[in-house]
Structure 1
Amino acid sequence: MKQNRFHCCATCKHFEARKEREGMRYFCSRLGYETKTTYVFTCWDPKDNVVKLIEKEESKENSL
């Protein structure tokens, strides 16, 4: 899958948001450490709804 505008931690299956007393913390369950929503890693595995959005966008591009 090519890199696209959806590629970031917040759209990955392994991304977890945890509300704590100090505020929100974002964690990667795959890598095992804290992350940020906008970080980008090559291990990215998009959530199902993101895959559908990517496919929809690519089909529009291919039909032009």
Structure 2
Amino acid sequence: MNPYHCCATCIHIEGMKSNGRTTYHCSRLGYETKTTYQFSCWEPKEEVVKLMKKRGMKS
């Protein structure tokens, strides 16, 4: 199990603020998501990849 695998750490998530509310949209899937969701299309952000390598989770 990868503790970093969630939408919040993916390159495809986009945060949008409107009316004092923040929503998150996946540019790859094309719909609203939540930061804690997990999908198999997950591609971690570069800083997450570095952290995972540092912790021995990814080569």
TM-score (normalised: structure 2): 0.90
Corresponding residue pairs, total: 57
What's the offset of the Cα at 1:57?
A: 0.6
Aligned equivalent of 2:35 = 37
Amino acid at match of 1:44: W
Listed as ranges, the gaps of 5+ residues in structure 2 are none
Runs of 4+ in structure 1 off by over 3 angstroms are none
- Structure number having the greater helix percentage: 1
Listed as ranges, the gaps of 5+ residues in structure 1 are 60-64
Aligned equivalent of 2:21 = 23
Deviates more, 1:44-53 or 1:21-30: 21-30
TM-score (normalised: structure 1): 0.84
Let me know the Cα RMSD of the aligned residues. Answer: 1.3
* Match for residue 46 of structure 1 among 32, 44, 47: 44
Aligned equivalent of 1:8 = 6
Deviations 1:21-55 (A, max 9, x none): 15001000000000000000000000000000000
